[in-house]
Each structure stands twice: as C-alpha cells, then as structure tokens.
Structure 1
Amino acid sequence: MPTVTVIQPTITEEQNTKIRCAAYCRVSSDSEDQLNSFMAQTRYYSQFFENSETEELIDLYADEGITGTREDKRDEFQRMIKDCRKGRIDRIYTKSISRFARNTKDCLKNVRELKSLGITVFFEKENIDTANMTDEMMITIMGGLAQEESTSISQNMRWSIKKRMENGTMKMCNSVFGYELVNGELILNQDEARIVRKIFDWYLNGYGSEKIAQMLNEMGIGKRGRSCHWTGPTVRVMLKNEKYIGDQLFQKRFTTTVLPRKNLPNRGELPQYYYTGCHEAVISKDVFDRVQELIRLRGENKRNESRGNILSKKIKCGECGTTFRMKNCRGKIYWVCRLHTDEIEKCSVKPINQDNIHSAFIRLCNKLWYNYKQILVPFQTALHDLKLRKLSSKTQVMDIHKQTAKLREQTHVLARLKTKGFLDEVKYIEQTTELTAKINKLQAELKKLTRSDDEDETIDQIEMLIDFFEKQSNPITEFDESTFEGIVEKIVVINQHELEFHLIGGLKFNEKIK
C-alpha cells in the first residue's frame, strides 16, 4: 500500500486576495428626484464595501441622466465593460436589471460576455447572481420586463406630447438664429433678425446658399455672441424655416418605437401640427413664399441638368466619401465634392473639370485595349481555376458540416450532464470552451471554401470586358456614354490629379488627370 503524504496549503485564507468588485448605478433622467436617486445609489455602494473582508470596491461607474435602452450612450457603462476586458474586475454589483439595461438583447449579450471573462453580476432587487447558470432564464424574463417598462414610459411620454401638440399648448424646446428662447416662447433678437432679413434678401437677389455662407464668414457674423463657421446647408435650413414668419411646424422628425430607437425625418409617417401666429415674425409671408418658390425652381434646374448626365451619382470623394454633384460655372461643367463646397476645411478635394474626367476614361480604355490580353485574359483563367477548385472541395465542405454537427452534439450532452449534476461547473466550462474553439476553427475553414459564391457573376463580367475590347478595332478618340455606362461602376476621386475607376468584375484602375 502506498504511503500518503499530505502537503499543506501555503496560502492561508487570510492571505487570499480580495474579490475586486465594481458597482454600476444609473438614473433615467436629470430631474431633481432622479438626481437624489443617483446620489443615493452612489453613496450606498461607497459604504457597502467599507467593512467587507472578502471584497473590495475597485471603482464605481455611474451614468447620470442617460437612457438605458441604448448602451452606446452610456459612457460609464462602456468604461466598465472595457475595464472588465482588461481584467481589472472580478464581480459587478448593480441595483436591478432595469439599472443595468432596459434592452433584453443588450442585457443578455453583456452578461454572457462578462461570464465568458469569468466576471459575475449580482442584481440586488431581483436577487439574481449570474454565477448560477440557471439564472440566465430569469435574466431574460426580467430583462424583458425592464424593456417593457421602458417602452411603457416612452409611450406615456409620446401620448402626452401628442396631446399638447393637438391642443396647441406645446412649448418650444430650442431657439433659432434671430430669436431667444424665454420660458418656452421665442423673443426677437433685433441684431440677429437684421442678419436673417439680409440672408433672405441676398437669396432673392440671386446669391446661392454657399455664396451667402461665404459672405457671412467674411463679415465675421457669430451666433449667440460667439464666433461660428457658416455653411451652405445651414443657410438652406434657415431659408426654409417657417419660424421666421411667426409660425411653427411640430413633429418634423420622430423617434421610432422599436429598439434601437432612431430619430428620423417625418416624411408622412406621422401627422404634423402647424401653429400660426406663435411669435413675432422676422420677415413677411410674401418674402418667405417667394424664397420657397425660388428654392424649388433652382432645385428643379439642378436636377434636370444632372439627371441627363451619365456621371451623375457615379463620382465619389476618396477623402470623405461624399457623392460629387455637377456645377455649371461660366459655361464649363465641373464636378464638386458636396462637403468641400459646404465646409471646405473638412475636405480638401477640389472640383474636377468634366472634360478631364472624359479624357482620363478615354486613356484608360485605350490602355486596356492595348493590354487586355496580358491583364484580363489571365485574370479570367484564374477565376475559372478557382471555380474548379471550389467544385472539387464540395466533399471537404460536407466533412466540415458533419464534424461541426458532432461537436455541437457533444456540447448538448455536456449541458445535460451538468443539469443532472454529473458534471461540475469548472469542468463544464473547460470542456465547452475547448469544443467552441474547435467549432470556430471549422467555421473559419468553411468560410474560406464558400466565400467565392459570386465568382460566376464576376467571370461573366470579365468576359464582357474581354468581348468589348476584342470587338474594338481602333483606339477610342471620343467619350462614349454607352461604353462608360456598360463598364464603369463608379469613379473615386483620389485628388484633383488622380481618379480611380471601378470597373465591372471588381477591377480598379488609377488614371492621372492631365
């Protein structure tokens, strides 16, 4: 019989490191009552860990006056999650699930991620501890109730706002240039009102919104006594604002009822409420109506000019991603980046003459005509080879599916063993982690084998290009719209000296502007 020697532990209970805890608290709004709640939660958690022998408070994360339905709006919550990922926290305490999140999806997502990091969460009100796996179903239920509570509050607020808009008691929330907001009422600011009248007069006298913005910047006109940079879009919004004739249109925008909530322009989805004679007007209704008609006519003229142009909506800015628009200047047509035109400091890409774009396309076509046998034909052959390899790999794809199915079945068996008490928590996590890693590896291999599903379309497009250049007997000398439309998907303007043509088949070619 072997001799057994007991090796005593070298780390005593007194020497054990304390559990590093964090507390998260949040209040729903910034009202005085909610502020008291926020302070009470903060004070409670600060005192909670003072005399604990097993736990210590590492940090307290507190969001004040922030919605719980959108986690991306909670800076402190995001900071806590980042600290968890860095291994700074072992356990999180929070007052209730509704404090942690009112969106069931986000709640479960974060709890599961924390659990995978070895971090537990304790919800005091519901007495739920995520250290117990069986509590996940309870979290789902409570998270759903919390989300329903948030939805109910939102619906009540919507109903209240709708009633106020209907009975004419809705108060203003924001002022506009030319007015000051006093107790929900717009009061005229005479100095700013003079500038507003000039803006409307300038527009009626033929100046565009970009030119007006430039003039305001040169004059050093500020807002609310502070310097600012005027832009074309800012001026266009002002020219369309009915507040300057003393009226007010409510519900120009609305918030969706489904999560995640989005704020969208109201294009007929919900009723709007137009109040007349709400406050003192800056300009007459006749001036306002003439400006609206001029805006409509100018817009129609621009749309008509660009609608018949093959380059319309095809040119993108390589610096900011904005779509270029056409501009007629002294009989010459230019394509300009919208952001550069409106806010020149945000994008440095200058206007491009349309003739230069046409010339660059002609040079590119001629280069491909001379060299398509060296460029396009080998590419076509490589795509055909790829397709053949994919067809031969079908057996391998089926094998991967079978292996994945077996591994998933093993995870279900482990779950059943743990539920019946035959497998402890540590062993369960260890084995499921190993199985998950194997499944992920197989999924990555499967992605490599199946990611070329669209190669048939690409092959067809490359064959169209080859066919086009084979039928061409001479170099191109003039810009042809049908050719451009048939082979070009878009043009990216790298700068005023270089264009990147995106052709069908996923091909990209750069061409200098001469």
Structure 2
Amino acid sequence: MGNALLQKTYTVDFLTKKRVKNKGIMPQYYVENDHPAIIPKSVFMQVQNLIRQRRNGITTKNGRHRRVNGKYCFSQRVFCGKCGDIFQRNMWYRPTKVAVWRCASRIRRSKKGRRCMIRNIKEQLLKVATLDAINQLIESHELADKQIKANIMKIVKNSKGPTIEELDKQLEDAQLKLIQAANQHQNCDDLTQEVMVLRKQKEKVQSIETENQVKLHNINQVSDFVDEHQHGIQEFDPQLVRRLIEKITIFQRYMEFTFKDSEVVKVKL
C-alpha cells in the first residue's frame, strides 16, 4: 500500500555481509507513502483482517472457538439460530451419498454432555433456499438499498474526532520535534510517547474509514448485481454466495439470510 518498514534486518558481520532478522536489537522506522502503492490501502486493510481471522479462527455466540475453513461456499456463513454455533458440512452415505450441514454443537457434545437439537439441513435444500433468497432480494432491493445507503452516508458524515489529514499533520510535527530533540541530546520520552499515541489514533481512524468503505463497497456490489439480474436468476451459483451473502442463520422453521448490504431475507423451510 505504499508504506515501508525500514531496517527489518541488519548486518552482523561486515566482512561476510551476513544479515539477520531484526528482533528488537536495532531501531526500526515505519515510513508512509515511501513508494507508489500497488493496491489501495482499504483493500490492504481488508486482506489483513481476513488473514487475522483465518489465523485466529472465530468465536461463536455460545463461546465456542472454531477454526476457519473456506473450502465450501457456505463455510463460515451458516450459523445456528438456537445456540449460535457454526454449521459444518458432513457426508451421509445411507441410503445414498448426500452432503448435510449440521450444527457443530450437535456433532460434538458440550462439557455438560448436551447437544444442540436444531435441525440438520441438506446441502441441496440450502442451495434452493439461497436461490430463493437472492431472487427475493432482487424483487425488494430498490427501496431498501436507498435507505441503507442513506444510513451509511450518515455514519460517514457524523464520524467524530480528527481526520486522517489532521492526524498526519500532528504526527509530522511531533516527529520533527522528536528528531530535533534527539539531535540536541534532550530527553525524548514524552515526545516518543506522543508519536506512539498519534500513530495508534491514526490506525483506529483508518480502521473506521476502511469499515465504512467496505460497507459502501458491499452496497454497490449488491446494487450492481441487482441491476444486472433484474429478472431474477434461475440457477444456483456458489460464487454468488461469497459475493453477496454475509451470514445464513438456521432456525427450526425458516432460514434468515443477511446480505452484505445489511438487507435481511427470510425463507421458510
């Protein structure tokens, strides 16, 4: 995204030119806008969030920690409406081979020996319900889309606190003072702390701005899809699940589809 971390390695032997990874032995310097960016910062931040999520897994509403697996289009998107746990894909072989999605708390007993008794969902039924939900979204999207866009823009405009530009200016001034103090061999502890606080504040503001950009991007993505398929779709496409759907919640009598633009559609079972 155009930034650089300097002195990630350092030379330990000037004769052999051997370099080793810097694990805090030497100071490191983070320089913003060091070179032309390959990708936008918002995209970079989204990717970092995905990497962290896949590495750390997810914690469900019932407090269970589950590993992230993106092998199937419904992976990490289907949740239990009763206990809040995630649904996992299993294969049944009797009488015929069929894929079934089941609540993880039903597959594995809890420490108290209890199992969630929410219904199992055959994958084919899940696909049919998803197709139905997407077509319902297309039919009722226009009014909801305008309201959601208005709400998101309201959030963006009403964001409190300093902007990125203001923080950049404050950070530049603080760093200049820090350099001057260091050159004059003055105590730099307070200035160093000020720079660190400003950096953390900037990271927080950048994170909020990235979230807002993602929300607007998701709204535009769903809106573009609806414009392209105003007469509905006839066949299930796994790529549409990844592109449009944020979450699917399974209840005993219906499924609740939450799309990436925050619209919610219910499909009876």
Name the structure where helix makes up a greater proportion of residues.
Answer: 1
* TM-score normalized with structure 2 length: 0.49
TM-score computed with the length of structure 1 as normaliser: 0.29
Structure whose CA Rg is larger: 1
Q: Using CA pairs below 8 Å that are at least 6 residues apart, which structure has the higher relative contact order?
A: 2
